[in-house]
Structure 1
Amino acid sequence: MKFFALALVAALAIGPASAHYGVDHSRADHYHVAQASGTAAPPAKAASKCDRPGEVSLAGEVILRIHAPAGGLDCQQRADKVQMRIVDSLSVGLVFPKDITVRRVKNEWAVFVKDILIITADAYSAKVNNTDPKTLAEIWAKNLRRTVPESTPQKPL
């Protein structure tokens, strides 16, 4: 268990430190995140965009970016909250790509790792990203699935 905890801390420490703001924005799977909490309320006004997006990274790869503050949190604080949800989900045992799912929660689509809520894709986030909430959640889940094998320690041979 100590190995798992150390590997997890190392993977997450490397992620945000190596993430850069010059990420290719033309990638089809790169979407902006406007709402990461469980609430569906959009930011009060468009002028409240952050100067710098909050990034959520895993295994050195940016999974998503948060571009608007909400719920009294700035973009980086919101990204940190999502990052901690990912850490929590990876700390309960081995996680495989099949454990990352998209489910409907009330009127929103959400990404889960096993039964742990990671992020919701509300209508406002989807609008910012020129898509619908279900598709946005699926893209976030795909990005997370791609990085999980690199972040989850494997059983020794």
Structure 2
Amino acid sequence: MAGEEPIIALFDDRAQALRLRNELRSAAIPERAITLIAALSDRRDAVEKLVQTGIARSDAALFADEVCGGATLLAVCATPAERARAAEIIARHAPAKPGRAQAVTESIPGDASGERVPEVTPMPTGSGSFEPRADPGEEDER
């Protein structure tokens, strides 16, 4: 489907990705809308296949690393009417990669979208607890 990024899911287990593909087919998601990419060793090849699927080139480069590292990627280029149903089915299959906070996405933070996901690092306070101040200028007035 032109113009819309596909819904993407990454799996460590190829069999799990195949079960998802079968369930999507059973739910009347058209075969032509479902793409499974796995077991590619050439990164350039992987990027090109992902771009052909409808994934932005900058995002495809990131996913190519996962696919070349052994992951199986399933992409669904669904119509607006099918998107919610496809996303719901994908979520039930709990796709995940260790260290990846979210593997199902309808928009991918990164170079293509200009979004950045902030990293949160807890900072020690010295007291072992965090107590927010009511007024940020309060300390200056003392």
State TM-score, norm by structure 2.
Answer: 0.26
The structure with the largest alpha-carbon Rg is 2
Per chain length, whose mean CA-contact separation is higher, i.e. which structure has more relative contact order (CA < 8 Å, sep 6+)?
Answer: 2
Structure having the larger proportion of residues in strand: 1
